[in-house]
Structure 1
Amino acid sequence: MTLPLNPAFAATEPPPVMEARRWLQGVSFPADRPLINVSQAAPVDSPPLGLRQALADAALNDPQAHLYGPVLGLPALREEIAKQWSASYGGVISPLQVAITQGCNQAFCTVMATLAGQGDEVILPTPWYFNHKMWLDMSSVTAVPLDTGPTLIPSADAAAALITDRTRAIVLVSPNNPGGVEYPAETLTAFRDLARAHGLALIVDETYRDFDSRTGRPHELFTDPDWADTFIHLYSFSKAYRLTGHRVGAVVASEARLTEVEKFLDTVAICPSQLGQIAALWGMRNLAQWVAGERDEILARRRAMTEGFSALQGWRLLGCGAYFAYVEHPFADPSDAVCKRLVAEASLLMLPGTMFQPPGSAVGKRQIRIAFANVDASGIAEMFRRLARVRA
Structure 2
Amino acid sequence: MPPTAHHFTPVYPLHEPQQSFRSKQYAPPRKRKRQQDPNDDDESDDSDLHTDPVQPSVTSRNVNDPYRVAGWPENMPLPGFSFPHAPAVKRRNRQPVSNNLQTELAALKPPLYVPPPGEQDTTSSLRRHHLGVLTTILHTSLLKHDFVRAGRAWGMILRTNILGRPLDVRTHGRWGIGAEILMRKFSPQNDFHEQSDHASTISDEGFEAAKDYYERLILQYPFQKTNPNAISSLTFYPAMFGLCIYEIQQKCNRALERMRNSSLEADQSDSESEQTRNQESKNIAAIKRSELDSAAGLAARMDELMLSPPFDTYPPLLQLRSSVALWLADLYETAANPDDDGDENKERASLERSRAKRCIERMKAAGVTVPEPILNGLG
Instruction: State the TM-score bracket (shorter-chain normalisation).
Output: under 0.3
> Counting strand residues as a fraction of each chain, which structure ranks higher?
1
TM-score by length of 2: 0.22
Higher relative contact order, chain-length normalized (CA < 8 Å, sep 6+): 1
Radius of gyration: which is bigger? 2
> Counting helix residues as a fraction of each chain, which structure ranks higher?
2
TM-score by length of 1: 0.21
